Structure 1
Amino acid sequence: MSYVAAKGGAQAIQAAHQLVAERNAPNPDDLQAQIAQHLHLSIDRIMAEASLYDRDIAAKALLQAQGDSIEAVFIVRAYRATLSRFLDSAPLNLGHANMQRHISAAFKDIPGGQQLGATYDYSHRLLGYFQNLQGPDESAAHAAIPSADTKAPNTHKKSGVMDILETEGLIEKSSTEPADAENRDITQIPPGFPASRAQRLQTLARADEGFVLGMAYSTQRGYGQNHPFIAELSHGSVNVEICPPELGFSLCIGTIEMTECQMINQFQGDSPETATFTRGYGLVFGHNERKAIAMALLDRALRAQELGEKVEAPAQDEEFVLSHCDNVEATGFVEHLKLPHHVDFQSEISTLRALRAQSLSTTARHDDTL
């Protein structure tokens, strides 16, 4: 089902609001479980920036950090460092993901229809708004508005907007950059410069959302030449598979929630015949749309040199962005200023006093000479 302003949109929006209200229903379990349920967007952000998909661990860390999300990320990363790595997973098959939300801002009619999912994008920003929503009969609501139904997500292979544009030759082909088995995991081997696009995307996926958002915003205001359209914004669950060497075939070991953003950007080319739109891409853990969109904007900005554009804005400077986007590193360097620096300061104040004394002595000798 497609949503439009004139017809059908009100019902779909109402169903989307209802799904948010249902998710916020009271939970009789313990505090940690309530945090995981009611603060699930915060939990998703912590999992993304800590590079560890575990809601219980993220909720426990947020509780321990007294609500400080960056401190919670630090705690989860420290815990993650104690875990053993025994096998790599196969690449995620996002074409077969179970979509709970799948929209396009560039096209009204997309394969499978616009699925609003559970979202407050179309609601009033009023305090207590969702508390006032009544719970209608769920089966009737979901039957009437299939596009907002998270109970029966779209399980068909996704035929995306980008695939259609690529078939028509209107957008650059998707990246064929080979995976570097020796240097593809930035948590094991830090990326150097220049970094591959895969390394850039990994770094942005776990970067601080606020930093990525600020950089992405700057590109829209002229510091990076981004004039984008969201081709597809999707949220859903996808299978994680491993292929044990002794078996020789893949096994599904579970599912994780992901948010993916496919961005269409301004075209480039040497002639009208070869001109195509360019891509930006974002993929993060959980329901994390703001981060995925900002990541796609920043990914496109960081491709400036690859696409023959001048690197003039901060968001286009790979070394600047990738070296400063990690919130744990930034927090450590900034907050270490709270720790004792008595010896350092005494050294500097002694130097300043000596300079002052030397200056006064020089001035006195000069006056005596006169």
Structure 2
Amino acid sequence: MYVAVKGGEQAIARSLELLAEARRGDAAVPELELAQIREQLRLGVARVMQEGSLYDEDLAALAIRQAAGDMLEAIFLLRAYRTTLPRFGYTLPLDTTAMRVRRRVSGTFKDVPGGQVLGPTYDYTQRLLEFDTTPVASVTPADVPLPPDMPRVLDLLDAEALIERIGPGSDPEPVDLTREPLVFPADRATRLQNLSRGDEGFLLGMAYSTQRGYAESHPFAGEIRMGEVDVRVCPEELGFAIEIGSIVLTECQMINQFHGGNGVPPQFTRGYGLCMGEGERKAMSMALVDRALRCDELAEPNYAPAQNQEFVLSHSDSVEASGFVQHLKLPHYVDFQAELSLLRTLAAQHAGARDEQPQDVVAEGVSA
């Protein structure tokens, strides 16, 4: 345990003043506008929204500016603000099949219904620093517009009964982890909710481990899509669904090998990832970890860290992890003095016992 911080109000106030000065930087340099952060640092904004569990680009941009670019601090700020907001209800399940696609690729089939849509991606850049700040010329729209709806790539395998089928209504009603504590064992819906706001770096490490042999994972990127999805609610006073807006989502469906078990014939299985905004790396990592966590369900050996749901889910939250690590900076004077006193006592007892030991025994021990 740690003791509460007492006294030092003047020092704390001065520290906050220094923080404000450091955050602003050189006053001769124009201050960052929220629109600049929102439009030019959109991937950072997306991550803050994902892990902050709040879809608001302006608030995420504000958090990034206030945190001076420290993403974990920005996530903490946004999530703390989120707890102050009233809850009006829950939306209906999002239909990602009807996504207005901006990017859609598959690593399993070259020709897919609707085609491959590269969209905005760093995948084909040379990763060279661009010192030329000349604005990029506007891109001419494609002659052939994208179809409004793109069938899922995994439906091709589903038509041949080569991949597990997950019908509508097969998942239990998910708990709200923002209001209910995480309880183990957690069902898949709860695990996915936890992973969707988990730390991207942690999930990336877990996902990487599954590909290096620390789980029964042989993945293929079935489909990765990013685009806008309509959000609908069904108010009680109306009795029917209405559309209240749209959000950008990134969805990933991984295909994994499976040799059958528990009465299930050999078939491919699924790993699923979904996150707010543009976040392919997060969605892919989430899908790999989701599949690894299904080991018990699929009667696979459970031996790897990524397959241990208590380990993964309990340590994936960036706010909790950051807080628990950073609390070590707070005063622990009483605790340390207690341990220091105990250690001095034990050391003195050990020295006294050695001094009381007969000399011949000591000499014998040395000669031996």
TM-score of the two chains, using structure 2 as the length reference: 0.85
1:263-274 alignment runs, 5 A limit: 263-269=254-260, 274=265
2:258 is paired with a residue whose SS is strand
1:297 is paired with a residue whose SS is helix
Per-residue CA deviation, residues 29-79 of structure 1 (Å, 9 max, x unaligned), is 961110111110000001001110000111101111111000111111100
Q: Pick closer, same or farther for the CA change 1:175–1:46 going to 2, 3 Å.
A: farther
The 8 Å contact of residues 280 and 299 in structure 1, kept in 2 or not, is answered as yes
Q: Distance in 2 between matches of 1:239 and 1:35?
A: 25
Could you tell me which of 63, 66, 70 is aligned with 1:64?
Answer: 66
Q: Distance in 2 between matches of 1:279 and 1:228?
A: 9
Give the counterpart letter for 2:207 in structure 1.
A
Q: What's the counterpart of residue 282 of structure 1?
A: 273
Most deviating of 358-367 and 115-124: 358-367
Q: What's the counterpart of residue 186 of structure 1?
A: 177
Give the counterpart letter for 1:259 in structure 2.
T
1:139-218 alignment runs, 5 A limit: 141-144=140-143, 146=144, 154-156=147-149, 158-174=150-166, 178=170, 180-181=172-173, 184-218=175-209
Runs (5+) with no aligned partner, structure 2: 1-29, 362-368
Q: Distance in 2 between matches of 1:133 and 1:82?
A: 40
Q: What's the counterpart of residue 6 of structure 2?
A: none
Q: Pick closer, same or farther for the CA change 1:130–1:248 going to 2, 3 Å.
A: farther
Q: Distance in 2 between matches of 1:176 and 1:237?
A: 22
Q: Distance in 1 between matches of 2:108 and 2:124?
A: 17
Give the counterpart letter for 2:245 in structure 1.
G
Q: Distance in 1 between matches of 2:197 and 2:294?
A: 19
Deviation at 1:130, TM superposition (A): 7.9
Q: What's the counterpart of residue 16 of structure 1?
A: none
Q: Pick closer, same or farther for the CA change 1:278–1:180 going to 2, 3 Å.
A: closer
**1:325 paired to 2:316:** yes
Q: What's the counterpart of residue 307 of structure 2?
A: 316
Q: What's the counterpart of residue 91 of structure 1?
A: 93
1:1-370 alignment runs, 5 A limit: 31-128=33-130, 131=133, 134-135=136-137, 138=139, 141-144=140-143, 146=144, 154-156=147-149, 158-174=150-166, 178=170, 180-181=172-173, 184-269=175-260, 274-366=265-357
Deviation at 1:95, TM superposition (A): 1.3
TM-score of the two chains, using structure 1 as the length reference: 0.84
Q: Distance in 1 between matches of 2:110 and 2:65?
A: 42
Q: Pick closer, same or farther for the CA change 1:175–1:332 going to 2, 3 Å.
A: farther
Q: Distance in 1 between matches of 2:261 and 2:329?
A: 54
The 8 Å contact of residues 100 and 154 in structure 1, kept in 2 or not, is answered as no
The 8 Å contact of residues 224 and 251 in structure 2, kept in 1 or not, is answered as yes
Cα RMSD (Å): 2.4
Q: Distance in 1 between matches of 2:76 and 2:241?
A: 33
Per-residue CA deviation, residues 307-359 of structure 1 (Å, 9 max, x unaligned), is 01010110111111011111111111111111111111100000011112222
Q: Distance in 1 between matches of 2:265 and 2:135?
A: 52
Give the counterpart letter for 2:157 in structure 1.
L
Give the counterpart letter for 2:77 in structure 1.
I
Give the counterpart letter for 1:48 in structure 2.
Q
Q: Distance in 1 between matches of 2:31 and 2:354?
A: 76
Give the counterpart letter for 1:142 in structure 2.
P
Deviation at 1:191, TM superposition (A): 2.5
Runs (5+) with no aligned partner, structure 1: 1-27, 147-151
Per-residue CA deviation, residues 229-268 of structure 1 (Å, 9 max, x unaligned), is 1111000000100000110111111110000001111132
2:126 is paired with a residue whose SS is coil
Give the counterpart letter for 1:102 in structure 2.
R
